[in-house]
Amino acid sequence: MSKLLSVTMAGLIVLTIGVGARAVDDAPAAAEGEPLAVGQALPQFVTIDDRGEPWKSNEHVGRKVVVFYFYPGDFTGGCVVQAQAFREGLKTLEALDIEVVGVSGDQAATHELFKKSHELKHTLLADPEGILAAQLGIPVRRTENPAVVRAVDLNRKPLLDEQGQPITVERKVTYPRWTAIVDREGKLVSKRTQVNPSTDADDVRKLVEALPK
């Protein structure tokens, strides 16, 4: 029997009306309830990362370029490809002063397992209620009957628990594959709704290289 990965800590996402520490004065904030548009400042938020620790946007946004790539969920085919592409291209992106952050509706414990088993170095944020995704206007898909996904390693072999049973995870919230880029001033400069998981890391590099210095 497969072991279901359970999480008791709910993902915490708190959005505030403030903007990034270095956001410029001419970058308007989105109106309450309205999705963020290109040119607007990203509201500050606090959520949970893959270590189960608070991740505060004001400690990242406004300090460097931050790339948020939203994906359906850990351990699924395209999402594995996308995560591995960012893993392989991470040094090149970091050399451009880019911080890469993956976001899905999975819980922190699922992110931790995915990150470890796929040797990822970038941060993964938990958005189990779809709050952050909705703030950016990303469609949030919820279901009463959670999808059950088998956790697999780099070689697509099932991950096993201490009793040697396959580990599975439940997924109640998903959203489509979108990638957003926030510049050094805290403004949204790119929000792509059509993303190729295998080329996303390189597409991000090209977009950031084209930003004004």
In the chain, domain spans? 3-209
Rg of the Cα atoms in the chain: 17
Helices and strands of the chain, counted as H and E runs: 4, 11
CATH of the domain spanning 3-209 = 3.40.30.10
For the chain, where are the alpha helices, taking DSSP H only?
A: 77-95, 108-117, 131-135, 200-209
Instruction: Check residue 28 and give its pLDDT.
Output: 53
Instruction: Count the neighbouring beta carbons within 10 Å of the beta carbon of residue 206.
Output: 9
| Ramachandran bin of 78, using left for φ above 0, alpha for ψ from -120 to 50, beta for the remaining angles | alpha
Return the number of other C-beta atoms located less than 10 Å from residue 72's C-beta. Answer: 21
43-49 and 14-19 strand pairing: antiparallel
CA dihedral sign, ordered 152, 170, 114, 109: negative
Please tell me the predicted confidence (pLDDT) of residue 6.
40
Report pLDDT for 103.
Answer: 97
Res 3: pLDDT: 47
Instruction: Return the number of other C-beta atoms located less than 10 Å from residue 212's C-beta.
Output: 5
Structure tokens at 127: 């958005």
Q: How many CB atoms lie within 10 A of CB 52?
A: 15
Q: Tell me how many degrees the CA angle 87-11-142 measures, rounded to the nearest 5.
A: 90
On the 0-12 / 13-18 / 19+ scale of CB atoms within 10 A, 81 is middle
- CA 173 centroid distance within chain: 13
Joined together, the tokens standing for residue 195 give 């993303």
69 forms beta bridges with 102, 179
pLDDT along the chain (213 residues), means of 10: 43 43 44 75 93 95 96 96 98 98 96 97 94 88 90 93 92 94 96 97 97 85
At residue 15, the pLDDT reads 45
Buried (b) or exposed (e) across 176-195, using 16+ Cβ within 10 A?
A: ebbbbbbbbbbbbbbbbeeb
What pLDDT sits at residue 180?
A: 96
